[in-house]
Amino acid sequence: MKTRSHKSRLIFIIYFFYLPLSHVYATFTLMEMQGKVILAVGAHPDDLEFFVGGTIAKYSALGAKVYYLILTDGSKGSEDHLLDKDELVQIRQDEQRKAAEILGVMDMFFFAEIDGELENTLLLRKKIVEIIRTVKPDTVVTFDPSYLYDVARGMVNHPDHRTTGQATIDAVFPFSRNKRTFPELLEQGQDVHSVTELLLVNLNQYNFVEDITPYLDQKIKALGSHISQKDDSEDVIRLVKNLCLKEKKKSSECFVKITLAP
């Protein structure tokens, strides 16, 4: 068993660090997506609509069961310092629920970690593992933790995004599939689960592209639910119409896709 475990880790490292620079457009059919379970993990309310909203709408329309996990409370998401923190948190959760409903998300989970202070702790990984073992996703969608900044867009990726990506990847492999990690979860009836695929948001270096052109209006409508964030502004809409700058002809969302070894 030890040899097999080390081999799995080696295969994972090879997949992660030696990705091909070429990429492919997804061509999932209704039959292929029917019944698949997708878990999308974001740092803040509105993250998932902005970066992967078209993909979520597409997968939902094709019959996948999509779940959301939002790690922080979104309490830093306003420059109005007079607005009560608890009120802002509630506003953002309500906005997130409305947006998710538009995209066809089945259910969602909120962890309420403090916005801007997210850390990749053992406890956070355990909580993510609990969700993975509960919903048993085939695919987990989250941020690529190596996506630090973007020169073309003049942006630095939020530290909560990077921490979300790293903590989620750690929870997927090896923790959610390892019986010796968090054995108390086994006692609670949460058996191990092996995720088969990761889709990591990276707008610079990616090997997988979703054409979201037919779902762009749905994505923009979902973003419009985040009234507190002004996500329906012309600048935001212009950005989300083509997040992948290399893909000139289609509205698209781009990922590092990793197919995990059994």
Q: Are 258 and 81 in contact (CB under 8 A)?
A: no
Question: Could you give the CA distance from residue 143 to residue 47 in angstroms, rounded to a whole number?
Answer: 10
> Given this model, what pLDDT does residue 145 score?
98
Residue 70's DSSP bridge partners are 42, 110
Provide DSSP, 158-212. Answer: -HHHHHHHHHHHHHHTTGGG-TTSSHHHHHTT-------EEEEE-SSS-SEEEE-
Answer whether residue 21 shows pLDDT above 50: no
Supply the pLDDT for residue 4.
43
Which one, of 211, 166, 178, 177, lies nearest residue 16 by Cα?
166
State the Cα–Cα distance between residues 262 and 251, nearest whole angstrom: 33
Distance of CA 171 to the CA centre of its chain: 13
Is the pLDDT score of 10 beyond 50? no
pLDDT value of residue 98: 98
Angle at 129 between CA 156 and CA 57, to 5 degrees: 60
In whole angstroms, what is the distance from residue 184 CA to residue 163 CA?
A: 25
Residues in the chain: 262
CB 240 within 8 A of CB 219: yes
254, pLDDT greater than 70: yes
- Which residues lie below 8 Å from residue 48, measured CB to CB, with a gap of 6+? 40, 42, 56, 68, 70, 100, 141
Per-residue confidence (pLDDT) for residue 27, from 0 to 100: 59
pLDDT tens profile 25-83: 665 666 688 899 999 999 999 999 999 999 999 999 999 999 999 999 999 998 888 89
- pTM for the whole thing? 0.89
Q: Is 26 helix (H, G, I), strand (E, B) or coil?
A: coil
Q: Kindly report, residue by residue over 103-158, the tens digit of the pLDDT.
A: 999 999 999 999 999 999 999 999 999 999 999 999 999 999 999 999 988 999 99
Its sign, for the CA torsion 229, 241, 103, 66, is negative
Whole-angstrom CA distances from 157 to 33, 64, 189 are: 30, 29, 37
Q: What is the CATH architecture assignment of 24-259?
A: 3-Layer(aba) Sandwich (3.40)
Beta carbons of 41 and 128 less than 8 angstroms apart: yes
**Residues 95-105: what's their mean pLDDT?**
98
Closest to 70 measured CA to CA, from 87, 89, 55: 89
| Cα distance between residue 149 and residue 44, in whole Å | 18
Strand partners, 262: none
Query: What mean pLDDT is reported for the chain?
Result: 89
